[in-house]
Structure 1
Amino acid sequence: MSNLGPYTYVTLSMGPDEAPHLGVSFYTPRLRVSSGLLFSNPRPFLEFTSQEAHVRISTTGAGAVTDADLATAREIFNAAARYLADCERLHTDQSATDQSASDKTASGTAA
């Protein structure tokens, strides 16, 4: 797979007698993530924003926060924790590989 560089990819698929499907993929250093509380009808939200797309996730409706809302929030939290752990592990591995390559070049052992 080639490296395309940073981008945001948004698709909308609509078929006859099917619910629309929206896909958003962020591959950009310009991604901003925030959260807050909607004031007009208090409920929490999580927001992902780039120059090309804006995604807001909130509870299921204008009423009280439900058990299902809490379960979804926990899933998001757990997925974000796994994402962080994977990023940290890969960053550490890549830094070690880069340092090893740099050490070999400095010592003249690189091919």
Structure 2
Amino acid sequence: MSGYTYTTIALEPGTAPRVSVSVYPDERARVSYFPPVIDTRAFLSVQHGDTGVFIGLTSDTVVSDTHVRFARELFESAARFLADCERLRDEHADHVEQVDQVPDQATPGKAA
């Protein structure tokens, strides 16, 4: 498995700069949740190699419906991502299993 992570900074005339972080995980990727018990805010951490992405609340944030809506969208998107990963893994496993079950064809003119 080969994952990678990269950051893109887009600077275009007349527009605000955009920064994007793309994470294509492998076995080095980690996702962690830090509850507000340890800190005065809750946050998620996505780590891959030397790259980290953090999603959280500032310590003085009053949690509003906007925060809850964002968290729900994040949860629902992650659940769909999980479902697709599991489906694709299972489809791959089924394909590998089918290929492994194909009987070897004897070479014509030679004994098997």
Q: Shorter-normalised TM-score: what interval? A: 0.7 to 0.9
Letter in 2 for 1:12: I
Radius of gyration: which is bigger?
2
Q: Give the RMSD, CA atoms, in angstroms.
A: 2.2
Q: 1:100 aligns with which of 83, 98, 101?
A: 98
Q: Which residue of 2 aligns with 1:22?
A: 19
CA distance in 1, matches of 2:55, 2:16: 19
Indicate the residue corresponding to 1:66 in structure 2. 64
TM-score normalised by length of structure 2 = 0.79
1:13 corresponds to 2:10: yes
Determine whether 1:50 maps to 2:44. no
Point out where structure 1 has 5 or more consecutive residues left out of the alignment.
Answer: none
What's the offset of the Cα at 1:26? Answer: 1.1
Change (3 A) 1:89 1:109: farther
Compare the two structures and name the one with the higher helix fraction: 1
Displacement of 1:37 after TM fit? 3.3
Q: Give the aligned length.
A: 103
Identity rate, percent? 36
Q: Secondary structure at the match of 2:72?
A: helix
Shift of 1:20: 2.2
